[in-house]
Structure 1
């Protein structure tokens, strides 16, 4: 312990900083926050005083996090060092605060029977909420959480469990915060954009249902995850790998979340259908948050796409059907719907083609890593064209996930959706007839898709009927009819179609 004068000085410095106006630059406030958290360790008289100071710092941390979140909403990956480094510092600061709460709670553990249980539960909930914020920011920059993150989270689970996690238990709010962290992990956050991650975070904050967290293995098995509190690993889907019956595990079941999302999905689909019948625009006014229970931040079409993926992953986590094989060879890559459209339409002379390296592959996809830096915008859910070298045909893929553990390197997980394709333009009935939308026409994919398909930007699909124009060699005009919406991400819609035999 430090001398009383030093203790008083550290606490007074925190109080004075919190009383002052926040700095205009959140990075400056972040540096000050981290310095105060470091100085407080060992510089206070008691665990109670330490926890009180951390609680005050928590409020300023929320303000700093909110300002950084606004900067990251539409930031493309990989982030430049001028933004990535402060966000990495923010992740560390939030986890330091969470660890401080955990340390203080464990220090007063011997006096728990004389302390208010509700207060202990609230402090544990704060620590888990801070951990959830740190996890959100790590996901938004495409990074894995820092080493030790899951061990810290599972230790906090144990503290929450001691207070009782039932609806009336003092640890209920803490276990609900724990459930939100696990719910995000179950969504495969590397497959979501920054805007989608923030929307999911806000949705879970106000969700009527939580996933079930505890020591008891619960049905259904299809949505069950297990966690070993002694291992620094993310939750594991039971459908992918069994726990082996090891003792002392935590379990998480996302079926209640999936059912709640299904209800919201049904409501939104009906709302959009009614708007189309009445000839209304599918704009944000459809999402009246007071009645929908859905947060703001995305358009109705974007929310519809995201809710479908949330339901799919919380209801039954996807699992790999084909084994991956380690590889190491370079490929040429053209990223983005517009860039690929121009490549197919105008040739390779002015195309934006970069060199990447395949490090594993399976019959249905690839994992690739940048080898010559990254130019342009990368985002989960975008389309990408790939080929071994010049002269070989292009494979069209969807970016299933994106990881960026530093500013110079990016990894992408790709799902093949077509072998080759051609550029076209389409116009959907009910849309603006004066503007045609760039599209890629894709051939059938054996074993996956029996008919041809078109790939368009998300939000383009407004009617089952559309006009297709292609001038690859000779002009071709036809009316098509959508037979199925096969895929919808934040960036693209993949529509299987047939030529309409009775054009109108």
Structure 2
């Protein structure tokens, strides 16, 4: 009798309407799956219910992804909790499907929907969705994720007619080695759609072979993400490793980019409609570079243990750097900075974690200011990656763009408005002259007047735009040439 009541509670969740904006939906989802795991059902009965749960949970994921794509970091506590509970639910689904496979007969015809080969794929699909949800929320991957995936692969990969299991695992690997923490949630959602829409071209190698520089490896005895051979070669005596190479996937992505750039519609290539946009072509290009193998670090890292101040507000940073001719405006923007600890650094960047103070609006691709405590000099950095163990903890990877900058305005000829920008000094090592950093959408080929204001007056100079030096989802950096001597008014 008690088991019937419990089953009714499980089915009640399935029959009800659920909203991704309602935390209660996610909490009750986890409870329902835990109850389902405790019921004494046949393998076929359990499978049919789990399949319905996977459908409903995937619908919640699709709705939550839209919300995550619009959010910046740190995520609001409620949104973070919903994402974490959704990831936990996918983990419970994977565990349930594995238990179903164990209880099914492997001699069943392949046409049966609940054949072990099909159910094993659903288990891997659930684990993949668990990873996707955590990545979209910039959360750490759940404990035992990789071991669960590898165990599922090893147990059921030998089933005939089960290529989908390996394909799903390959997509999971491709997403991991693309460095998901370096994308915004919107960019990552596109990459997930791209991998789902295309055949996953991954080359598997024997542990006895000498792996190429571009290969990656997994140790099934450890719950760790893929390691790059270029960064850490496996020991020669380790013969139980999973070694793979995503170079074929990189070649396919670059071929798609050539087609898209030439004007081929995405639908013709079987790609998501968003592939027409420049943002997502940039995302795919970046992923293709990483699927080719990790780049070699140009500069050695060294430990750091000192505090810095971060200004993540573009408007406040512009004023701090002398916007409108008013230097040292920190007092006017007291809530725009926060304290961080540098944990390691190189000549070109830093890794930091948040210590104190308000921080909001962080996402990969944004520009921010950084300075030593008690210093008056702001450096300009680009956010390369973001990680967050919880809503109160943030880690950043920053690329140093310029050691100094000047706040200026641009007035494009033929318009009546001016826009704020940061004037970055020339970088001879990159064979690059002066550049301008603006928020996304301000770059326009043509002529403009550069306005810089200080205590001596307003400095004007007619200029002409050059080529884009950097483009992210949040900022543009472009070269320019001065066409006339600077005048002061």
TM-score (norm 2): 0.88
Question: CA–CA distance in 2 between the matches of 1:373 and 1:128?
Answer: 41
Match status 1:383 vs 2:377? no
Judged with a 3 Å threshold, the aligned counterparts in structure 2 of structure 1 residues 298 and 268 are, in CA distance, closer, same or farther, namely closer
Judged with a 3 Å threshold, the aligned counterparts in structure 2 of structure 1 residues 63 and 446 are, in CA distance, closer, same or farther, namely same
In structure 2, what is the equivalent of residue 100 of structure 1?
96
Judged with a 3 Å threshold, the aligned counterparts in structure 2 of structure 1 residues 47 and 428 are, in CA distance, closer, same or farther, namely farther
Match status 1:122 vs 2:122? no
What is the deviation of 1:107?
4.3
Judged with a 3 Å threshold, the aligned counterparts in structure 2 of structure 1 residues 138 and 288 are, in CA distance, closer, same or farther, namely same
Question: CA–CA distance in 2 between the matches of 1:415 and 1:343?
Answer: 20
Match status 1:302 vs 2:302? no
Match of 1:153 among 149, 152, 156: 149
Question: CA–CA distance in 1 between the matches of 2:35 and 2:89?
Answer: 13
What is the deviation of 1:459?
3.6
What is the deviation of 1:200?
0.9
In structure 2, what is the equivalent of residue 284 of structure 1?
none
Question: CA–CA distance in 2 between the matches of 1:215 and 1:14?
Answer: 45
In structure 2, what is the equivalent of residue 472 of structure 1?
453
Q: Equivalent residue of 1:49, what SS?
A: helix
Question: CA–CA distance in 2 between the matches of 1:417 and 1:24?
Answer: 39
Match of 1:269 among 261, 282, 304: 261
What is the deviation of 1:123?
1.4
Match status 1:137 vs 2:163? no
Residue 399 of structure 1 contacts residue 415 of structure 1 at CA under 8 Å; is this kept in 2? yes
Question: CA–CA distance in 2 between the matches of 1:497 and 1:316?
Answer: 34
In structure 2, what is the equivalent of residue 175 of structure 1?
166
Match of 2:245 among 253, 259, 279: 253
Residue 29 of structure 1 contacts residue 64 of structure 1 at CA under 8 Å; is this kept in 2? no
What is the deviation of 1:18?
2.2
Q: Which residues of 2 match residues 29-108 of structure 1 at below 5 A? A: 29-108=25-104
Residue 182 of structure 2 contacts residue 384 of structure 2 at CA under 8 Å; is this kept in 1? yes
The runs of 5 or more residues in structure 2 that have no matched partner are none
Residue 396 of structure 1 contacts residue 417 of structure 1 at CA under 8 Å; is this kept in 2? yes
After superposition, what is the alpha-carbon deviation per residue over 1:168-221, rounded to whole angstroms, capped at 9, x for unaligned? Answer: xx2211111111111111111111111111111111111144333565789993
After superposition, what is the alpha-carbon deviation per residue over 1:438-473, rounded to whole angstroms, capped at 9, x for unaligned? Answer: 32211133534542222223344443x442412233
Q: Equivalent residue of 2:396, what SS?
A: strand
Residue 344 of structure 2 contacts residue 352 of structure 2 at CA under 8 Å; is this kept in 1? yes
What is the deviation of 1:291?
3.3
Match of 2:410 among 417, 423, 426: 426
In structure 2, what is the equivalent of residue 358 of structure 1?
342
Match of 1:439 among 417, 421, 424: 421
In structure 2, what is the equivalent of residue 371 of structure 1?
355
Question: CA–CA distance in 1 between the matches of 2:400 and 2:431?
Answer: 12
What is the deviation of 1:298?
7.7
Q: Equivalent residue of 1:471, what SS?
A: strand
Question: CA–CA distance in 1 between the matches of 2:210 and 2:407?
Answer: 48
Judged with a 3 Å threshold, the aligned counterparts in structure 2 of structure 1 residues 312 and 25 are, in CA distance, closer, same or farther, namely closer
In structure 1, what is the equivalent of residue 107 of structure 2?
113
Count of aligned residue pairs for this structure pair: 472
Match of 1:493 among 476, 479, 482: 476
Question: CA–CA distance in 2 between the matches of 1:499 and 1:471?
Answer: 14
Question: CA–CA distance in 1 between the matches of 2:20 and 2:294?
Answer: 43
Question: CA–CA distance in 2 between the matches of 1:368 and 1:24?
Answer: 32
Residue 222 of structure 1 contacts residue 316 of structure 1 at CA under 8 Å; is this kept in 2? yes
Q: Equivalent residue of 2:235, what SS?
A: coil
Judged with a 3 Å threshold, the aligned counterparts in structure 2 of structure 1 residues 44 and 383 are, in CA distance, closer, same or farther, namely same
Q: Which residues of 2 match residues 193-272 of structure 1 at below 5 A? A: 193-213=184-204, 215=206, 221-245=212-236, 246-271=238-263
Question: CA–CA distance in 1 between the matches of 2:449 and 2:253?
Answer: 35
Residue 186 of structure 1 contacts residue 235 of structure 1 at CA under 8 Å; is this kept in 2? yes
Question: CA–CA distance in 2 between the matches of 1:418 and 1:326?
Answer: 21
Judged with a 3 Å threshold, the aligned counterparts in structure 2 of structure 1 residues 88 and 23 are, in CA distance, closer, same or farther, namely closer
Q: Equivalent residue of 2:429, what SS?
A: coil
Q: Equivalent residue of 2:353, what SS?
A: strand
Question: CA–CA distance in 1 between the matches of 2:20 and 2:242?
Answer: 43
Residue 461 of structure 2 contacts residue 483 of structure 2 at CA under 8 Å; is this kept in 1? no
Judged with a 3 Å threshold, the aligned counterparts in structure 2 of structure 1 residues 475 and 314 are, in CA distance, closer, same or farther, namely same
What is the deviation of 1:71?
1.9
* Alignment RMSD: 2.8
Question: CA–CA distance in 2 between the matches of 1:117 and 1:20?
Answer: 31
Residue 260 of structure 2 contacts residue 266 of structure 2 at CA under 8 Å; is this kept in 1? no
After superposition, what is the alpha-carbon deviation per residue over 1:73-121, rounded to whole angstroms, capped at 9, x for unaligned? Answer: 211111121221121111111111112212332344xx42346487322
What is the deviation of 1:385?
1.1
Question: CA–CA distance in 2 between the matches of 1:219 and 1:210?
Answer: 20
Q: Equivalent residue of 1:223, what SS?
A: coil
In structure 2, what is the equivalent of residue 335 of structure 1?
312
Q: Which residues of 2 match residues 395-434 of structure 1 at below 5 A? A: 395-426=379-410, 433-434=415-416
TM-score (norm 1): 0.85
